Homo-oligomer: A and B are copies of this chain.
Amino acid sequence: MAINSVNVLFTHALADTALSAKQKEVLKASLVLFSEQGFDRTSTSDIAKKAGVSEGTVYKQFKTKEGILAAILKPFAQSVIPTAASEFVTMISSTSYPSLEEFLRHVVQNRMQFAKENKLQLKIFAQELLHNTELVQALEAEIKPKLIKQMGQVLEYYQKQGQLVAWPAVRIFRYVISVVFSYLVPYLLLELPLDVEEASQEAVEFLLGGLSPATK
């Protein structure tokens, strides 16, 4: 059921691509198998079988098994950090800024929803991060400046307003991201349900306390 809905979303994303129906089946089967068993424990014959195609078909489009992985993770990786055109920026660049609470709730909720819709990709991604050091370095180099550029001035605004503690942006990101993950990890690993509305509410309540300027 949960997997189905993920598949529906993935299928939808696949619609834009120039892949044939069978090649899409290959990607869908790989998505499920990689996330369930891990990349290394999934054979190309497993993939072919689940996709209902021959092994030759698998290799017609994707030259290597790694190529299949890349085809799944590339579009995912590029949407982990929402682009400058995203809602975040439009939300902020409007004449009236929302409160820090509203802003945080929006960001947290948005990313939790994203994680929910990309559950399988996230699991595969995490596996890859753990034994692909170069990938980690490359991501760090790309994502961190992007994040700071996009969010940096927003944070500054709230800091000048006195709504946000005057810590470096990196430190604030660290806490926001980790608290979001504190709700995602049980969902990803234990298959527990995740109520995004409730979770983001809770998370923001905590974050606001920790990120408000000192009353100490």
Mark A residues whose CB is within 8 Å of B: 36-38, 40-41, 123, 126-127, 129-131, 133, 136-137, 140, 165, 171, 174-175, 177-179, 181-183, 189-191, 202, 206-212, 214-216
Contacts and interface: CB of A to CB of B under 8 A. Distances in A.
B127 A123 contact: no
A200 to B, nearest CB: 14
A117 B174 CA distance: 23
A137 B190 contact: yes
Contact residues of A: prevailing secondary structure: helix
Given A175-B206, A178-B182, 8 more contacts: A38-B130, A40-B40, A40-B41, A127-B131, A130-B189, A165-B209, A181-B181, A210-B210
A104 to B, nearest CB: 12
Contact of A178 (B131, B179, B208, B212): B179
A209 B202 contact: no
A131 B127 CA distance: 8
Contacts of A214: 209
A131 to B, nearest CB: 4
Nearest to A183: B174
24 contacts: A36-B131, A38-B40, A38-B130, A38-B131, A40-B40, A40-B41, A41-B131, A133-B189, A136-B190, A137-B190, A165-B209, A175-B182, A178-B179, A178-B181, A178-B182, A206-B210, A206-B211, A208-B210, A208-B216, A209-B210, A209-B211, A209-B212, A209-B216, A210-B210
